[in-house]
Amino acid sequence: MVQGGPPLHGEISAGGAKNAALPILVSSLISPHWCILENIPQVADVATMCRLLGVLGATTKWEGSRLWIRTESLKSSEAPYALVSTMRASILVLGPLVARWGEATVPLPGGCAIGSRPVNLHIDGLRALGADVRIAHGNIHVQATRLRGARITLDPSSVTGTANLMMAAVLAKGTTVIENAAQEPEVSDLAAFLVTRGARILGYGSNQITIDGVDTLDAGEHQYTIMPDRIEAGTYMIAGAATRGDVTVRMACPALLDTLCTPLRDTGAEIYVNQDSIRVRMQRRPSAIDITTGPSPGFPTDLQPQMSAFLSFADGVSHIKETVFENRLSHLPELRRMGANITTKRNEARISGVQKLSGAPVMASDLRGGAALILASLAAEGESTVSRVYHVDRGYEHIERKLSLLGANIRRIKKARNA
């Protein structure tokens, strides 16, 4: 429940990046040695991933936000449907399982609220690496005695596709080249982590990644700090601007947010980037701007819903074009219930800014769309209730606590399921 109006003021810290933590956790399947992971975010998707890895045979120990994880022996090579159906990133276990243990079974994830989201690139890539892949009874079965290096082109570029194939190729015989690889920083974080463990990976961060397969990763404990969550940080930056507040987000590597700073400045926000923080101050009604999402280094699709909520009360007409997912505008009808003037055509939206949104009961249907509705509620006049916030808990650590620290009038009416 949110009482809109108060400008957000103050300082908070970004947590660890969910989308880097998930593949890094999964990569613990590749070697029997302990990984000590720092800055793991306490979000529901991480809890789900730890549960899934536990079913497969991983041992985990928590010490605050530090997690010890290793997989000495395999308990099962099958990911349970109950877990895969709540988190599509479960598909990431395919590559590491088949690379180290020679077999894996993962239920087909199916569609989700933001589109049909096929997994053909994961399957075709594993086949190119020499695996025998069969689809039966709703499951993907993969088998291989030893994967062998190959040249793989991803079309379109896929974040978890790149991560999955990179993890598979680490133990393959020979060299793998992934063309049109995802350049998202979370993929680079996974690659950097694997390199600290003895993997031979070059070119990450560019659109061509080369992996020279090794027989095993290095022995011994490996410690690694997960990169900060640029999407979480970006959400709080937009929230600061949306409430005409003054918010500082502490995080290592503020340059991760360059793609957001430019359009946010165009709306009239003042942005001050320091060595380990970004401050956003907004003193007027935002100006309308146009946004087109794209794979990195384009504008992140994971910040599009929050940005469209912000632009719904901008001065003028904004256009949003979502090019990554086919159905990522489902938060817009909910924003209309708060008074926004928005028309949509396929993946595009025309937002004619209104003076103020008005609080209303609204419903989240996906993670970032839910964050956008909370953000709209903070800026709206009066009270809003956002339901199905379990979507938001998948990727935001204590969102109501962090927003309260900034002076938001927000409280959780029902307890979180997993967070």
From 32-40, 70-78, 151-159, 408-416, give the range in contact with ligand UD1 by CB under 6 A.
151-159
Is 145 in contact with 102 (CB distance < 8 Å)?
yes
Specify whether 35 is catalytic.
no
Q: Does 302 contact ligand UD1 by CB under 6 A?
A: yes
Q: Does 19 contact ligand UD1 by CB under 6 A?
A: yes
Rounded-to-integer distance, Cα 123 and Cα 95, Å = 10
CB-based contacts of 305: which residues, under 8 Å, 6+ apart?
Answer: 328, 331, 368, 369, 371, 372
Query: Distance of CA 162 to CAs 50, 338, 374, Å?
Result: 21, 39, 32
Single residue of 28, 105, 160, 176 touching ligand UD1 by CB under 6 A: 160
**Tokens 């419903």, residue located:** 363
Q: Does 22 contact ligand UD1 by CB under 6 A?
A: yes
Q: Does 304 contact ligand UD1 by CB under 6 A?
A: no
Rounded-to-integer distance, Cα 182 and Cα 205, Å = 8
Q: Which is nearer to ligand UD1, 179 or 218 (CB)?
A: 179
Minimum CB separation of residue 18 from ligand UD1 in Å reads 7
Rounded-to-integer distance, Cα 283 and Cα 121, Å = 46
Single residue of 110, 111, 118, 220 touching ligand UD1 by CB under 6 A: 118
Three-state secondary structure call for residue 334: helix
Cα-based angle 198, 18, 178 (whole degrees, multiple of 5): 50
Minimum CB separation of residue 326 from ligand UD1 in Å reads 7
Q: Does 24 contact ligand UD1 by CB under 6 A?
A: no
Minimum CB separation of residue 382 from ligand UD1 in Å reads 31
Task: Fill in the per-residue mask, 350 to 379: x = in contact with ligand UD1 (CB under 6 A), - = not in contact.
Answer: ------------------------------
From 75-83, 156-164, 259-267, 340-348, give the range in contact with ligand UD1 by CB under 6 A.
156-164
Residues 40-99 that bind ligand UD1 (CB under 6 A): 88-89
DSSP bridge partners of 322:
none
Q: Which is nearer to ligand UD1, 180 or 210 (CB)?
A: 180
Q: Does 324 contact ligand UD1 by CB under 6 A?
A: yes
List 50, 112, 253, 261, catalytic entry: 112
Q: Does 109 contact ligand UD1 by CB under 6 A?
A: no
Minimum CB separation of residue 278 from ligand UD1 in Å reads 21
Residue closest to 299 by CA, chosen among 230, 198, 380, 204: 230
State residue 413 phi and psi, 5-degree precision.
Answer: -85, -40
DSSP 163: H
Q: Which amino acid is at 121?
A: L
What are the start-end ranges of the H helices in 142-276? 159-170, 185-196, 230-242, 258-266
Q: Which is nearer to ligand UD1, 89 or 233 (CB)?
A: 89
Minimum CB separation of residue 414 from ligand UD1 in Å reads 25
For 248, the token pair is 């500082």
Q: Which is nearer to ligand UD1, 158 or 243 (CB)?
A: 158
Minimum CB separation of residue 348 from ligand UD1 in Å reads 16
**Burial zone of 38 (CB within 10 Å; 0-12 exposed, 13-18 middle, 19+ buried):** middle
Q: Does 156 contact ligand UD1 by CB under 6 A?
A: yes
For 171, the token pair is 């133990």
Q: Does 17 contact ligand UD1 by CB under 6 A?
A: no
Minimum CB separation of residue 206 from ligand UD1 in Å reads 16
Minimum CB separation of residue 41 from ligand UD1 in Å reads 12
Distance spanning both ends of the chain, measured CA to CA: 18
Rounded-to-integer distance, Cα 165 and Cα 161, Å = 6
Q: Does 119 contact ligand UD1 by CB under 6 A?
A: yes
How many residues of this chain bind ligand UD1 (CB under 6 A)? Answer: 22
Is 69 in contact with 33 (CB distance < 8 Å)?
no
DSSP 312: T
State residue 374 phi and psi, 5-degree precision.
Answer: -65, -45
Single residue of 211, 325, 363, 366 touching ligand UD1 by CB under 6 A: 325
For 386, the token pair is 């956002």
Single residue of 28, 158, 180, 183 touching ligand UD1 by CB under 6 A: 158
Residues 185-204 that bind ligand UD1 (CB under 6 A): 186
Q: Does 301 contact ligand UD1 by CB under 6 A?
A: yes
Q: Binding residues for ligand UD1, per CB under 6 A?
A: 19, 22, 88-89, 115, 117-122, 156, 158-161, 182, 186, 301-302, 324-325
Active site residues: 112
